[in-house]
């Protein structure tokens, strides 16, 4: 890598041919509910259905030819898996993906559709890492970690970079946090902006390890996967945590019921299909105690890969 591991403009140029510059949208209903001016960064409309393709593409394209000779490997519950599959296809190399049992069916189908080979594991961080490292050793594939990789964080930061370029007078950016790559990337983008922009993390109450890590100053272990926001069940990574320490104003918690309501509102009022993880930042803007009255706030809708047949979503169709 280059001397400065976080060169977001360079990453934006590198991934430009492979990702979309997603639109920033407004919704008067959301503004009224939040008492603020909200700007929705529609990463749910991104290639592969989430922001993850940014980091995966940046990482894969930075690898030397010798490093990708035997393909790339990663572990993911879905969105990063799809992203690595897409990035590997663009590079012309194999993608080997470890996914936990019970992963979102729509995401599994997409990973397979993009040409990746799936290996199953138990649904916890240790099992994911162990399986991916075994494949790396046996096949010689290059590991693309979902969030604990400077190249991935740099790529994820391009979402907030675009948002700040398009809406120059933002007071704050709210992003969801699971492993922490997107939120850490937002911190890097805000740090390079011409004016002060607060960065706020939004996390499900049933997966609050990032909140507890920031509160205690000590990286906390992953909680058992209970939240409906399956993309945010992963524990916070060490590298993102080191960036959040100084870059994040606070992390706020939202209930699963609020996540689902924000998701429903996105579908009904903004006509945007988002998955539960993708609605977490909006839920925070609408219902968390953030003191954002009349401020200009960027909201990253991080993904739209939803399984329409999932039991928890059945009340949408009643």
Output the average pLDDT for the chain.
94
Whether the pLDDT of residue 311 is over 90: the answer is no
Query: Looking at 77, 103, 277, 302, which residue is catalytic?
Result: 77
As given in the structure block, the two tokens for residue 247 are 């870059």
- pLDDT tens per residue, range 126-148: 899 999 999 999 999 999 999 99
To the query of whether residue 130 is one of the catalytic residues in this protein, the response is: no
pLDDT digits (tens, 9 = 90+) for 49-65: 999 999 999 999 999 99
CA-nearest of 187, 201, 195 to 167 is 195
pLDDT at 316 over 70: no
- In the chain the domains, ranked by start, together with CATH numbers, are 8-51+150-317 (3.40.50.1100), 52-143 (3.40.50.1100)
In angstroms, the CA 31 to CA 265 distance is: 12
pTM of the model: 0.94
| CA–CA gap between residue 314 and residue 318 (Å, rounded) | 7
Annotated catalytic, 293?
no
pLDDT value at 210 more than 80: yes
Residue 317, pLDDT above cutoff 50: no
Mean pLDDT along residues 242-266: 97
Kindly report each contact of residues 22-30 with a partner whose C-beta sits within 8 Å and lies 24 or more positions away, as own/partner. 22/46, 22/159, 22/162, 24/163, 24/166, 24/167, 24/298, 25/270, 25/272, 27/269, 27/270, 29/265, 29/269, 29/270, 30/265, 30/269, 30/270, 30/282, 30/285, 30/286
Contact 280, 258 (CB under 8 A): no
The answer to whether the CB of 312 falls within 8 A of the CB of 260 is yes
Active-site hit among 41, 52, 103, 107: 52
């Amino acid at each position: 890598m280059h001397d400065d591991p976080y060169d977001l403009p360079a990453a934006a140029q590198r991934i430009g041919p492979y990702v979309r510059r997603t639109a920033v949208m407004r919704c008067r209903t959301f503004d009224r509910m939040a008492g603020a001016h909200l700007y929705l960064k529609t990463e749910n409309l991104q290639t592969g259905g989430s922001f993850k393709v940014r980091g995966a593409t940046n990482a894969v394209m930075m690898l030397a030819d010798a490093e990708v000779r035997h393909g790339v490997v990663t572990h993911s519950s879905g969105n990063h898996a799809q992203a690595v599959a897409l990035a590997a296809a663009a590079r012309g190399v194999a993608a080997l993906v470890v996914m936990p049992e019970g992963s979102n069916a729509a995401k599994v189908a997409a990973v397979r559709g993009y040409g990746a080979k799936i290996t199953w594991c138990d649904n916890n961080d240790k099992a994911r890492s162990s399986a991916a490292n075994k494949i790396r050793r046996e096949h010689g594939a290059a590991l693309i970690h979902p969030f604990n990789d400077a190249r991935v964080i740099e790529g994820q930061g391009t979402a907030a970079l675009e948002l700040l370029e398009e809406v120059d007078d933002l007071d704050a950016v709210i992003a969801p946090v699971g492993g922490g790559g997107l939120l850490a990337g937002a911190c890097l983008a805000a740090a390079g902006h011409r004016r002060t922009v607060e960065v706020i993390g939004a996390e499900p109450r049933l997966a609050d390890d990032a909140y507890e890590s920031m509160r205690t100053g000590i990286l906390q272990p992953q909680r058992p996967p209970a939240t409906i926001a399956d993309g945010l069940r992963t524990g916070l990574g060490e590298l993102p945590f080191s960036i959040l320490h100084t870059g994040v104003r606070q992390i706020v918690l939202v209930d699963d019921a609020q996540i689902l309501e924000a998701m429903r509102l996105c579908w009904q009022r903004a006509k945007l299909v988002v998955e539960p993880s993708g609605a977490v930042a909006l839920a925070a803007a609408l219902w968390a105690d953030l003191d954002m009255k009349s401020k200009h706030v960027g909201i990253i809708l991080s993904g739209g890969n939803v399984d329409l047949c999932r039991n928890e979503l059945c009340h949408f169709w009643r």
